[in-house]
Structure 1
Amino acid sequence: MSAIQGYNPRTGEPFGEPIESTSDAELDAIVAKAVASGWSATTSEQRAEALERVADALDAESELLVSTADSETALGRPRLSGELKRTTNQLRLFASVLREGSYLEATIDTADATTVPPRPELRRILRSIGPVAVFAASNFPFAFSVAGGDTASALAAGSPVIVKAHPSHPRTSHETARIVAATLPEGVFGIVHGLAAGPRLVQHPAVKAVGFTGSTGGGRALFDLATSRPEPIPFYGELGSVNPTVILPGAATEETAAGFAGSLTLGVGQFCTNPGLLFAPASMVEALTAAVDASSGGPMLNERMQQGYRSGVDSLAGSDLVELAATGTDPAQGYSVAPKLFTTELKTFAANLGTLTEEHFGPAAVVVTYTDPEELLAVLPQLPGSLTATVHASAQEHELTGRVGAALQAVAGRLIFNAWPTGVAVAWGMQHGGPWPATTNSLFTSVGATAIRRWLVPVTYQSWPEELLPPELQAGNPLGIPRRFDGVLGTR
């Protein structure tokens, strides 16, 4: 059986000892332990305390984790240190979500014989869906990987988690999993490695839902496996996104151009929220070109991504649909690439929308130039689904901004004003999702407190004896959580 070898993207040289692929028998044993773990029967407080212990344990070994991840991803120690802290803060956020209690959507309808039809006593709550498979992301070795948001939210929901490690950072994944598994009860958390383990995990009959962050092609293949099972299961995939940005004339400044270049090249463009599609006045191209020309590239996460980026931008440059306007600096080492900026006119873009909205993962963007911003209003609703959509405008353009925002609302999960999409806050109000191909289910988010809803399913207790009800539904509300009682939301 093949092993997974990590590489240093700065040099292309192997890093660390390889990790053995997980056999079918090993995978079955890991899933069996998850089923037997009893994690779904624990209380919210027990799970909250466990998440906090995991966060503390990860923080305690931050030096090892950050050093290992930097060697395998070349993302830099400052970025990775911040990402690890984000990861442990996510775990602590979900501890607070568990204690607050509204995630359960506890609902009580008292019996009423006068309604038509007569209503029995009904008490509804959300419960764990069961064991969950989580696919780690390449570009966030902590926040969207082994102990990332999908894992944190699923564990909070009461779902045991089996992570499919990403081959771009096998040693980082191994060390993170070691810490998490040692902190939680046996079977609650497991990890598998290797290409074959992914499809097998999705098709395992004991796995009840899947979280995925990755490419559109890979995500779609796994989505099809999940939905074609004898027992289809939910597949929550975060896939491709071009994150359109509209710059209105009042905001077409050199400062805005510099901000765009900074967002485009952040992390060598390896963000799911990278602004890959820009609509700007033709007069702004000069400033945008200068900003990207002055920018620098860097090493991508692995050789496959480097080759995919180069192939994509070379193909785009070779077409007659765009012009290459700017090329940043390429360090020319390891898996490095250069930033690229292309331009095209709105008319050409509208006639070739499918081709020109393809995501090129990395620091590349297409600028669509316009002369009259009113012309954008017919084109924007035709864009493919994205995680974000952004508008930059002056204070005198609010009426037009509102109409542009209304046009973008149907194609993006988060609308941003006078800021850049790179960076996703972990909060109750965050929506990190969007229409296909941004995600496979735009009803949900993979970041923020409400991400827990993906791993929960409802159950109603009808006329059930009081002493047999979960405490969240018992008379007097012993836990003091938010509940809807006879249609009124409160703490009754």
Structure 2
Amino acid sequence: MTQDIHGKHLIAGDWISGQGTFRTDPATGDPLEISLGDASVVDRAAKAAEAAFDAYAATTREARAAFLEAIASELEARVDAITPMAMAETGLPEPRIRSVELPRTANQMRLFASHIRQGDFLDMRHDSALPDRQPMPRPDLRVVQRPIGPVAVFGASNFPLAFSTAGGDTAAALAAGCPVVVKAHEAHAGTCELVAEAINAAAEATGMPRGVFNQVHGGSLEVGQALVQHPLIKAVGFTGSYRGGKALFDLCVSRPEPIPFFGEMGSINPMFLLPGAMATRAAAIGEGWAGSLTMGAGQFCTNPGIAVVLDGPEADTFRDAAKAKLEAAGPQTMLTKGIASAYRDGAYALRDSDGVREVVVSEPGERNATPFLFETDAQTFLANEALAEEVFGPTGLIVRAKSPEELATIARGLKGQLTCTLHMDTEDADLTRTLLPILERKAGRILANGFPTGVEVADAMVHGGPFPASTNYGATSVGTLAIRRFLRPVCYQDISEMFLPETA
């Protein structure tokens, strides 16, 4: 990879150099020189977004929909430039970028365009005036959802397109009428620049106000901290680690004016394998689980890291099928050396835990992931909270329970999750009725007879969950419901329709 990008910040349509540079650490090719961000760059970007807010918030739904569709087209027009850059920076294979992530990112923009044209997101309610009502008249009341202000977006390391510069948080904020300031991810800074160029071109082509989209590079913790603490930023969208997300969340709530922090921070995504399903297809479930664990080197926030089973011969069959498939899996390149190091630490911590038995052990490289598989009993799992912590990579833990009651105890002890999965057959109906009300309090998405890796972009999708999976259990970062995060209700009392927002 050669330096064929300029490595600058994008602020109000202009490319701005920083004070110094940092070097990227790509999976292949030469590193890039990228402009350092600092508090002054963040200040310029936030002020540019605020300067654009009034004009952008006043645009029609049709104008914003056209902008989103233009972004999709500009991304597709740049696929031949974006694909090799993203591959070099992340180590992800070409089909993942060209045929999966870029189309998903473009289609997500088009989904939001279609959604705001329909107008349902406004949740408009109108109580007509009752001037003759006794004992006192009622005023005319109209409530409309309105954009909240400039939004900061932190892209994820594991999705250089779909959860990054033009990802779901950016799409939702722009659809809502909120200008955006994106903090580009250092792991794929070159890809972020190419995507920012596409968004900027779409903004110019559709006549959007300068500053509707801005992107700053990092290089230090200062940039993220300055962004979430800037008084002009009114909400934050974040996808990343619990440690990073919790630190930013704490900064948001400790501001003089606290703001919402919509953080999606991952989970262990437990699967519960019920006896009827295990009696007929334990081996198939084991093979499918191993495939899900190793997909994308296990670098998905929906990776199903825990499988809870009833002890017995079917559990052995499940374990052996997963073991065979994991042992046949080769090493996979991880997104960054830091992620690979954290993966090794997490897998080795499981290996060295009391009461945990090795099933598959391996030796990951400096930037490669190789699979691990462990098993333990329910009492050990329940007694050691560390066993329920996410290991970001292709590692699985089988938890053997002695009874259906112990399955339910494990379910009740779970922290918040993005997903929970039930593998079940017809004869598992009673146990399903027991577990389902427990799991719906634990997760944002509950699956039957599948694997949670892969998040459909659709109206009904929920990608979020109770803390610590996310910081706001009432929100989602995927699907059209995500737009509600960046809107607030405004009630207009006895205001003439001629003065109401166009969206009303």
Does TM, scored on the shorter chain, surpass 0.5?
yes
1:324 maps to amino acid: E
Alpha carbons 1:388, 1:413 under 8 Å: kept: yes
Residue 32 of structure 1 is matched in structure 2 by 47
User: For residues 291 and 218 of structure 1, what CA distance do their matches in structure 2 show?
Assistant: 33
Pair 1:220-2:246 in alignment: yes
Cα deviation for residue 31 of structure 1 reads: 1.7
Pair 1:398-2:429 in alignment: yes
Pair 1:286-2:286 in alignment: no
1:181-260 superposed matches below 5 A: 181-184=200-203, 185=208, 186-194=210-218, 195=220, 196-252=222-278, 253-260=282-289
Alpha carbons 1:306, 1:337 under 8 Å: kept: yes
Residue 133 of structure 1 is matched in structure 2 by 152
Residue 414 of structure 1 is matched in structure 2 by 445
Q: Of 9, 14, 25, which residue of structure 2 is paired with 1:7?
A: 25
1:97-112 superposed matches below 5 A: 97-112=115-130
Alpha carbons 1:236, 1:439 under 8 Å: kept: yes
CA separation of 1:218/1:124 partners in 2, compared to 1, >3 Å: closer, same or farther?
A: same
Pair 1:163-2:197 in alignment: no
Cα deviation for residue 469 of structure 1 reads: 1.9
1:381-396 superposed matches below 5 A: 381-396=412-427
Residue 480 of structure 1 is matched in structure 2 by none
Residue 151 of structure 1 is matched in structure 2 by 170
Residue 348 of structure 1 is matched in structure 2 by 380
Give deviations 1:242-290, integer Å, cap 9, x for gaps: 1010111222221110100010111000000000111023332223322
CA separation of 1:337/1:2 partners in 2, compared to 1, >3 Å: closer, same or farther?
A: farther
User: For residues 272 and 188 of structure 1, what CA distance do their matches in structure 2 show?
Assistant: 29
Residue 405 of structure 2 is matched in structure 1 by 374
Residue 194 of structure 2 is matched in structure 1 by 175
Residue 265 of structure 1 is matched in structure 2 by 294
Give deviations 1:165-195, integer Å, cap 9, x for gaps: 1111111111111111222132110001112
Alpha carbons 2:60, 2:502 under 8 Å: kept: no
Query: SS in structure 1 opposite 2:350?
Result: helix
Residue 9 of structure 2 is matched in structure 1 by none
Residue 101 of structure 2 is matched in structure 1 by 83
Give deviations 1:89-132, integer Å, cap 9, x for gaps: 00000000110101001110011242666421101100000000
Cα deviation for residue 87 of structure 1 reads: 0.2
Q: Percent identity?
A: 46
User: For residues 446 and 22 of structure 2, what CA distance do their matches in structure 1 show?
Assistant: 39
Count of residues in Structure 1 that have an aligned counterpart in Structure 2: 467
Mean Cα deviation higher: 276-285 or 188-197: 276-285
Alpha carbons 1:110, 1:121 under 8 Å: kept: yes
Alpha carbons 1:297, 1:328 under 8 Å: kept: no
Query: SS in structure 2 opposite 1:422?
Result: coil
User: For residues 435 and 238 of structure 1, what CA distance do their matches in structure 2 show?
Assistant: 10
2:168 maps to amino acid: G
Cα deviation for residue 291 of structure 1 reads: 2.7
Alpha carbons 1:94, 1:449 under 8 Å: kept: yes
Alpha carbons 2:58, 2:502 under 8 Å: kept: no
User: For residues 425 and 118 of structure 1, what CA distance do their matches in structure 2 show?
Assistant: 48
2:230 maps to amino acid: H
Q: Of 370, 393, 413, which residue of structure 2 is paired with 1:338?
A: 370
Mean Cα deviation higher: 243-252 or 430-439: 243-252
Query: SS in structure 2 opposite 1:8?
Result: coil
Cα deviation for residue 329 of structure 1 reads: 8.1
Pair 1:123-2:142 in alignment: yes
- Structure 1 alignment gaps of length 5 or more: 474-492
User: For residues 167 and 135 of structure 2, what CA distance do their matches in structure 1 show?
Assistant: 48
Pair 1:114-2:138 in alignment: no
Cα deviation for residue 85 of structure 1 reads: 0.4
User: For residues 163 and 450 of structure 2, what CA distance do their matches in structure 1 show?
Assistant: 23
Query: SS in structure 2 opposite 1:7?
Result: coil
1:457-468 superposed matches below 5 A: 457-468=488-499
Structure 1: which 4+ aligned runs deviate by more than 3 Å? 115-118, 327-330
Query: SS in structure 2 opposite 1:84?
Result: helix
1:130 maps to amino acid: G
Alpha carbons 1:270, 1:361 under 8 Å: kept: yes
CA separation of 1:207/1:308 partners in 2, compared to 1, >3 Å: closer, same or farther?
A: same
1:327 maps to amino acid: V
1:23-102 superposed matches below 5 A: 23-37=38-52, 38-81=55-98, 82-102=100-120
Alpha carbons 1:35, 1:206 under 8 Å: kept: yes
1:6 maps to amino acid: T
User: For residues 228 and 361 of structure 2, what CA distance do their matches in structure 1 show?
Assistant: 41
Pair 1:276-2:286 in alignment: no
User: For residues 200 and 322 of structure 2, what CA distance do their matches in structure 1 show?
Assistant: 48
CA separation of 1:243/1:254 partners in 2, compared to 1, >3 Å: closer, same or farther?
A: same
For the aligned residue pairs, the C-alpha RMSD in angstroms reads 1.6
Cα deviation for residue 149 of structure 1 reads: 0.3
Alpha carbons 2:58, 2:501 under 8 Å: kept: no
Mean Cα deviation higher: 278-287 or 306-315: 278-287
User: For residues 101 and 72 of structure 2, what CA distance do their matches in structure 1 show?
Assistant: 13
Residue 486 of structure 1 is matched in structure 2 by none
Query: SS in structure 1 opposite 2:187?
Result: coil
Pair 1:20-2:35 in alignment: yes
Query: SS in structure 1 opposite 2:421?
Result: strand
